[in-house]
Amino acid sequence: ELQLVESGGGLVQPGGSLRLSCTASGFTFRRYEMNWVRQAPGKGLEWVSYINSNSSTIYYADSVKGRFTISRDNAKNSLFLQMNSLRAEDTAVYYCARDSGITTRPGWFDPWGQGALVTVSS
Protein backbone atom coordinates (compact mmCIF):
# COMPACT_ATOMS: atom_id res chain seq x y z
CA GLU A 1 0.00 0.00 0.00
CA LEU A 2 1.27 3.44 -0.92
CA GLN A 3 1.80 5.45 2.23
CA LEU A 4 3.31 8.76 3.29
CA VAL A 5 3.59 9.59 6.99
CA GLU A 6 4.58 13.05 8.21
CA SER A 7 6.10 13.76 11.59
CA GLY A 8 7.82 16.57 13.44
CA GLY A 9 4.98 19.05 13.74
CA GLY A 10 4.28 21.01 16.89
CA LEU A 11 4.19 24.38 18.61
CA VAL A 12 7.07 26.78 17.99
CA GLN A 13 7.64 30.43 18.84
CA PRO A 14 7.92 33.09 16.13
CA GLY A 15 11.45 33.18 14.82
CA GLY A 16 12.02 29.56 15.77
CA SER A 17 12.79 26.47 13.70
CA LEU A 18 11.21 23.11 13.06
CA ARG A 19 12.05 20.13 10.87
CA LEU A 20 9.33 18.05 9.29
CA SER A 21 9.89 14.51 8.05
CA CYS A 22 7.88 12.39 5.64
CA THR A 23 8.51 8.65 5.51
CA ALA A 24 7.43 6.79 2.38
CA SER A 25 6.50 3.14 1.92
CA GLY A 26 4.88 0.94 -0.71
CA PHE A 27 6.77 2.38 -3.67
CA THR A 28 10.33 2.99 -4.89
CA PHE A 29 10.89 6.36 -3.23
CA ARG A 30 14.15 7.19 -5.03
CA ARG A 31 12.36 7.25 -8.42
CA TYR A 32 9.80 9.91 -7.54
CA GLU A 33 9.77 13.65 -7.22
CA MET A 34 8.20 14.95 -4.01
CA ASN A 35 6.40 18.04 -2.77
CA TRP A 36 5.31 19.82 0.38
CA VAL A 37 1.90 21.52 0.44
CA ARG A 38 0.39 23.41 3.38
CA GLN A 39 -3.07 24.45 4.46
CA ALA A 40 -3.66 27.21 7.00
CA PRO A 41 -6.63 26.71 9.33
CA GLY A 42 -9.85 27.16 7.37
CA LYS A 43 -7.97 28.10 4.21
CA GLY A 44 -7.10 26.52 0.88
CA LEU A 45 -4.10 24.56 -0.32
CA GLU A 46 -0.76 26.30 -0.87
CA TRP A 47 2.14 24.56 -2.59
CA VAL A 48 5.39 25.05 -0.63
CA SER A 49 8.30 23.21 -2.24
CA TYR A 50 9.38 20.55 -4.75
CA ILE A 51 12.42 18.30 -5.03
CA ASN A 52 13.27 15.94 -7.86
CA SER A 53 14.43 12.36 -7.42
CA ASN A 54 18.17 13.06 -7.09
CA SER A 55 17.84 16.46 -5.37
CA SER A 56 19.34 18.30 -8.35
CA THR A 57 16.24 20.44 -8.93
CA ILE A 58 14.43 22.27 -6.13
CA TYR A 59 11.68 24.88 -6.24
CA TYR A 60 10.10 27.02 -3.52
CA ALA A 61 7.06 29.22 -3.21
CA ASP A 62 7.99 32.88 -2.81
CA SER A 63 6.37 32.89 0.65
CA VAL A 64 8.99 30.50 2.04
CA LYS A 65 12.03 31.13 -0.15
CA GLY A 66 15.14 31.78 1.92
CA ARG A 67 13.55 30.40 5.10
CA PHE A 68 12.61 26.81 4.25
CA THR A 69 14.86 24.06 2.87
CA ILE A 70 13.61 20.86 1.28
CA SER A 71 15.81 17.75 1.21
CA ARG A 72 15.57 13.99 0.94
CA ASP A 73 17.40 10.82 1.92
CA ASN A 74 16.63 8.13 -0.64
CA ALA A 75 18.40 5.46 1.40
CA LYS A 76 15.93 6.10 4.22
CA ASN A 77 12.87 6.70 2.02
CA SER A 78 12.51 10.08 3.67
CA LEU A 79 11.64 13.65 2.69
CA PHE A 80 12.36 16.64 4.92
CA LEU A 81 11.39 20.28 5.30
CA GLN A 82 13.63 22.46 7.46
CA MET A 83 11.69 25.54 8.48
CA ASN A 84 13.57 28.52 9.91
CA SER A 85 12.55 32.05 10.90
CA LEU A 86 8.98 30.85 11.38
CA ARG A 87 6.13 33.35 11.37
CA ALA A 88 2.55 33.22 12.59
CA GLU A 89 1.40 32.99 8.98
CA ASP A 90 3.32 29.71 8.60
CA THR A 91 0.80 28.06 10.92
CA ALA A 92 -0.74 25.26 8.88
CA VAL A 93 -1.11 21.56 8.30
CA TYR A 94 1.84 20.49 6.16
CA TYR A 95 1.33 17.63 3.72
CA CYS A 96 3.92 15.72 1.77
CA ALA A 97 2.77 14.51 -1.62
CA ARG A 98 4.30 12.28 -4.26
CA ASP A 99 4.58 13.60 -7.79
CA SER A 100 3.12 11.55 -10.60
CA GLY A 101 6.42 10.04 -11.70
CA ILE A 102 6.29 11.47 -15.20
CA THR A 103 9.77 12.94 -15.32
CA THR A 104 9.38 14.72 -18.66
CA ARG A 105 6.94 17.31 -17.34
CA PRO A 106 5.38 18.47 -14.05
CA GLY A 107 2.67 16.08 -12.91
CA TRP A 108 -0.03 15.66 -10.33
CA PHE A 109 0.16 14.84 -6.63
CA ASP A 110 -0.82 11.34 -5.56
CA PRO A 111 -0.83 10.14 -2.83
CA TRP A 112 -0.73 12.66 0.02
CA GLY A 113 0.25 12.07 3.62
CA GLN A 114 -2.17 12.68 6.49
CA GLY A 115 -0.47 15.96 7.38
CA ALA A 116 1.47 17.45 10.29
CA LEU A 117 0.24 20.51 12.18
CA VAL A 118 2.70 23.33 12.71
CA THR A 119 1.62 26.12 15.05
CA VAL A 120 3.72 29.26 15.30
CA SER A 121 2.72 31.22 18.38
CA SER A 122 4.17 32.81 21.47
Partner 1 sequence: YVLTQPPSVSVAPGQTARITCGGNNIGGKSVHWYQQRPGQAPVLVVFDDSDRPSRIPERFSGSNSGNTATLTISRVDAGDEADYYCQVWDSSSDTWVFGGGTKLTVL
* Residue 30: strand, helix, or coil: helix
Residue of 7, 85, 100, 103 interacting with partner 1 (CB under 8 A): 100
How big is the CA angle at 23 (ends 48 and 100), to the nearest 5 degrees? 60
From residue 49 to residue 88, the character string flagging contacts with partner 1 as x (rule: CB under 8 A) and all else as - is: -x--------x-xx--------------------------
Interface with partner 1, residue 110, by CB under 8 A: yes
Span of 8-16, 18-26, 74-82, 103-111 interacting with partner 1 by CB under 8 A: 103-111
Q: Around Cβ 95, how many Cβ atoms within 10 Å?
A: 23
Binding mask 7-46 for partner 1 (x = CB under 8 A): ----------------------------x-x------xxx
- Which of residues 8, 27, 47, 52 is near partner 1 by CB under 8 A? 47
Among 23, 27, 109, 117, interactor with partner 1 by CB under 8 A: 109
Distance CA 86, CA 50 (A): 19
Question: Rounded to 5 degrees, what are φ and ψ at 33?
Answer: -75, 155
- Would you count residue 108 as binding partner 1 (CB under 8 A)? yes
Task: List CB contacts of 96: < 8 A, sequence separation 6 or more.
Answer: 4, 6, 20, 22, 34, 35, 36, 37, 79, 112, 113
